[in-house]
Amino acid sequence: MILRRPAVALALAAALLGGFGLMQQQSEASSGPRALFFGDSLFAGTGTSPKRPVLATDTSRLLHWRPTVDAVGGTGYTTRGHNPKGRTYLYRLQHDGFLTRHRYQVILLEGGTNDALFGDLPALSTRMTEVVGYVREKQPQARLVVVGGFTPAGHDNARFREMERTLAATAHELSLQYVSQYRYHVLSKGFLFKDHFHPNRSGYRRMANDLATQLRGAKI
């Protein structure tokens, strides 16, 4: 990965390594489909101040969903990140209890960014298939949606393109809806947080509107 300036590398490392920590957010609404937003720092809301899972909550508000958020920065399908507390997606799902906490109508599996940054891309399809299989076993009634890895400005490189192709192809093979987050690499001014990597509040708002548009109208 090539960053544009040394300060960005430091900011990115701080965000990735400091972004670990399980976050849960549930809506106070008593009606509407219950949704699990599972992923990395994108669903955790890194880049907002105070940090909160705004992509999940904004999307849920637009769709009248009841969200639960299970998001740990720096993790992915093939990587636990650089923090000893981090775990891969399958391990997290098997041990953090979110899949047994509620009966969900929809589950969004978001990720791929950290796999592109420092994960094992040749193993990405296999690890994603294992995750989907486990989720289907535990929540067979839920509609599953794969939300691709976020690609920030300046990261339109070979590894991120491979990540995007792999996730999209695997979702197609598994007959799952795929929502790409790759296109955001063309946006920077007014969209990214000061770490030049994560979206800012305005960026998350735009992404939530886009995500809700992709999800609206699909059968749950």
| This prediction's pTM | 0.85
What pLDDT, in 10s, does the model give residues 160-177? 999 999 999 999 999 999
**For residues 94 and 41, what is the distance between their CA atoms, to the nearest angstrom?**
19
- Taking 60 as the threshold, does the pLDDT of residue 28 lie above it? no
In one-letter notation, the amino acid at residue 184 is: Y
DSSP state of 108: E
Q: Which two tokens stand for residue 151?
A: 């690609």
Q: Shortest CA distance to 152 belongs to which of 181, 177, 125, 174?
A: 181
User: Which residues are within 8 A (CB) of 31 and not within 5 positions of it... i.e. 6 or more apart?
Assistant: 64, 66
Distances in Å between the Cα of 95 and the Cα atoms of 12, 30, 40, 92, 134 are 28, 27, 16, 5, 12
- How many C-beta atoms lie closer than 10 Å to residue 29's C-beta? 13
Tell me the pLDDT of the chain averaged across its residues: 86
Dihedral sign (CA 108, 203, 22, 112): positive
In one-letter notation, the amino acid at residue 60 is: S
Domain ranges of the chain: 6-215
Q: Which two tokens stand for residue 185?
A: 């690499």
- How many C-beta atoms lie closer than 10 Å to residue 54's C-beta? 22
| Range list of H helices, the chain | 6-18, 41-44, 54-63, 89-95, 98-101, 113-118, 124-138, 158-173, 201-215
**For residues 33 and 216, what is the distance between their CA atoms, to the nearest angstrom?**
12
Q: What is the pLDDT of residue 187?
A: 84
- Stretch among 17-31, 109-123, 141-155, 181-195 having the lowest mean pLDDT: 17-31
Start-to-end C-alpha separation, the chain: 38
What pLDDT, in 10s, does the model give residues 33-59? 999 999 999 999 998 888 899 999 999
- Taking 70 as the threshold, does the pLDDT of residue 8 lie above it? no
Instruction: Quote the CATH superfamily of domain 6-215.
Output: SGNH hydrolase (3.40.50.1110)
Return the bridge partners of 11, or none. none
